[in-house]
């Protein structure tokens, strides 16, 4: 389960292998680690359609993810026909993204060193002492990364 979030709870079990059908640019822009604690295997829908060998354990279930859930539904059907226990993430990563928060801090002196590369941060903006962070990072985690507290409280947008 990804980070104890109620939306992702039930979206993935620890025994499942995860196939990510998105292209390299999509995976780079929005790493699956934002939503899952388990590494994902990048694979194309075309490779699954062709029946290319996949480095999967047939004894373990497979969760197939894509951007919106459409390609993953088709891929799960192909995998089931090939003998895997497969299912698709309903609504894709778009559904999980809808649960992100935006944290806004005013009076921040600088961006914390590890923040831009934090696995739960999808995007951030820092301008004129205002830091905005989009992703799965909690308010407490963000405040814990700051060297000095902000001059104004955290403003959270879900």
User: Is the Cα dihedral 137, 24, 86, 76 positive or negative?
Assistant: positive
Q: What are residue 71's phi and psi, to 5 degrees?
A: -65, -35
Output the pLDDT for position 34. 79
| Residue 47 pLDDT | 97
Q: Which pLDDT score is estimated for 158?
A: 60
Measured distance CA(86)–CA(16) in Å, rounded: 9
Percent pLDDT > 70 in the chain is 88
Cα 115 to Cα 118: distance, rounded to the nearest angstrom: 5
Instruction: List, in order, residues 6 or more apart from 78 with CB less than 8 Å away.
Output: 48, 49, 51
pLDDT beyond 90 at 88? yes
- Ranges 1-5, 16-20, 80-84, 91-95: which has the least confidence: 1-5
- Where do the CATH 3.40.250.10 domains begin and end in the chain? 17-97
Mean pLDDT of 101-112: 90
Q: Tally Cβ neighbours within 10 Å of residue 64.
A: 30
Q: Which pair of tokens denotes residue 151?
A: 């001059």
Distance CA 102, CA 15 (A): 31
Which of 6-15, 21-30, 97-106, 147-156 is the most confident on average?
21-30
pLDDT band at 8; cut points 50, 70, 90: very low
Backbone angles phi, psi at 103, to 5 degrees: -105, 135
The pLDDT tens digits of the residues spanning 17-57 come to 999 999 999 999 888 887 888 889 999 999 999 999 999 99
CATH entry, 17-97, from 3.30.43.10, 3.30.470.20, 3.40.250.10, 3.40.50.300: 3.40.250.10
Task: Name the maximum alpha-carbon separation found in the chain.
Answer: 58
- Stretch 121-128: mean pLDDT: 89
Task: Give the pLDDT confidence score for residue 153 in this predicted structure.
Answer: 63
């Amino acid at each position: 389960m990804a980070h104890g979030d109620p939306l992702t709870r039930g979206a993935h079990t620890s025994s499942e292998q995860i196939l990510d059908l998105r292209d390299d640019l999509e995976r780079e822009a929005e790493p699956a680690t934002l939503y899952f604690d388990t590494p994902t295997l990048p694979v194309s829908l075309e490779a699954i359609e062709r029946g290319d060998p996949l480095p999967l354990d047939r004894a373990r279930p497979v969760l197939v993810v894509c951007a919106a859930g459409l390609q993953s539904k088709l891929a799960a059907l192909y995998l089931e026909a090939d003998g895997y226990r497969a299912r698709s993430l309903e609504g894709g990563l778009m559904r999980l993204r809808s649960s992100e928060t935006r944290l806004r801090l005013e009076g921040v002196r600088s961006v914390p060193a590890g923040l831009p590369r934090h696995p739960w941060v999808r995007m951030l903006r820092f301008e004129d002492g205002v830091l905005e962070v989009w992703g799965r990072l909690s308010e407490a985690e963000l405040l814990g990364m700051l060297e000095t507290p902000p001059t104004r409280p955290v403003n959270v947008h879900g």
